[in-house]
Amino acid sequence: MKRKIIVFAVLAIVCAAAVWLFTCGPLAHNNDVDNIEETDEVEKVQPVGPAFNADSAYAFTKAQCDLGPRPMNSDAHEMCLKWIEKKFKQYGCEVTLQQADLKGWDGTTLHSTNIVARSNPKATTRIMLCAHWDSRPWADNDPDSLNWHKPIIAANDGASGVAVMLELAQLLNNPANKTAIGVDFICFDAEDYGVPQWSDTQDDGNSFALGAQYWAENIPHGYAPRYGILLDMVGGQGAQFYREGMSMQYASSIVRKVWRAARQAGYGSFFPNDDGGMITDDHLPVNQTAKIPCIDIIPYYPNCQQSSFGPTWHTIADNIDNIDKNVLKAVGQTMVQVIYSEK
């Protein structure tokens, strides 16, 4: 999942020029103004909407993990599909299943199901939240090579995003929490069946996010939510969510909206105003093919040797023991702030 395409190309002369421009040169005053505005926004904690229940989101994460690894075509994958569908229906959503047989990088036919759950389906103004629900078949980034061919539990990389969406659906189903807009929760399948690191197969960048690619090529005619937000690995310990590069390229105004909402909800420390990597993820086909502006909330660990996605990414350590309720709360409450700020 999420092949990183960060370009480390910062020339010394450009840095020197930037320092002069923004500290001594003609842009110095404007930069000060921008910093003042950011500081003011950080201080304006103005939460709206109901409280997001992180304990419930944690329980939803654990329920998926209790099924074991959930890779494509497995019995656990099928059980997880039925469980997610049942939960969304329980919380008043109108649920449809988009099924397709997709071809994996190794020629395997992947029996894929995208789950589309619509809260407040009669509302004409809508936003879209999404996450992937399949799990990685191989722990190909594990520090121990003996684990490279083992499937992972995928507590963070898969289950956490679905869990946050389920808790939001439960919250929205409460009559006391009604909103004027509708929210579409989309669980993408076949996201994490991409070329493993131990394979000699050349990855063209399209072996991941297969379910999202299929969805984007087959969206219902006229479907046009205001924007989309992808929740990817939103429960890991120590996670912070930097501004992802492709999100800034395709939907920078939505990035600013969400990061502002995090500050207003009181969780700005989890969403620093710094740039992370440029990631190939489910939001790319949503932007490029479906033409829906969509951002990726995905962690960035700039000082983690194991991976900039965090120490458990694509390892057998991606289990429930490494899920942090505080991170689930930060992301979930930020989504509440976003939803209840829409008019």
pLDDT digits (tens, 9 = 90+) for 73-86: 999 999 999 999 99
pLDDT band at 29 (very low <50, low <70, confident <90, very high): very low
CA 42/CA 45 separation, integer angstroms:
7
CB neighbourhood size of 184 (10 A) = 20
The phi and psi torsions of 25 (rounded to 5 degrees) equal -85, -165
Beta-carbon contacts of residue 230 (< 8 Å; ≥ 6 apart):
130, 131, 161, 281, 282, 283, 286, 294, 295, 296, 297, 298
Give me the mean pLDDT over the 219-236 stretch: 97
pLDDT digits (tens, 9 = 90+) for 243-279: 999 999 999 999 999 999 999 999 999 999 999 999 9
CB neighbourhood size of 101 (10 A) = 9
| Residue 205: predicted pLDDT | 83
CA 288/CA 277 separation, integer angstroms:
18
pLDDT band at 2 (very low <50, low <70, confident <90, very high): low
DSSP 238: T
Residue 339: is its pLDDT beyond 80?
A: yes
CA 327/CA 34 separation, integer angstroms:
28
Cβ contact 58:323 at 8 Å: yes
Give me the mean pLDDT over the 91-101 stretch: 98
| Residue 269: predicted pLDDT | 98
CB neighbourhood size of 237 (10 A) = 15
| Residue 322: predicted pLDDT | 98
CA 219/CA 286 separation, integer angstroms:
10
Q: Estimate to the nearest angstrom the gap between the alpha carbon of 10 and the chain centroid.
A: 28
User: Helix H segments across the chain?
Assistant: 12-23, 28-43, 54-65, 75-90, 160-173, 210-217, 245-265, 283-288, 325-341
pLDDT digits (tens, 9 = 90+) for 273-327: 999 999 999 999 999 999 999 999 999 999 999 999 999 999 999 999 999 999 9
Range 3-341: architecture per CATH: 3-Layer(aba) Sandwich (3.40)
| Residue 49: predicted pLDDT | 97
CA 239/CA 152 separation, integer angstroms:
19
Percent above pLDDT 90 for the chain: 86
Report field, pTM of the whole predicted structure over 0.85: yes
The CA-based diameter of the chain, rounded to the nearest angstrom, is: 63
| Residue 204: predicted pLDDT | 86
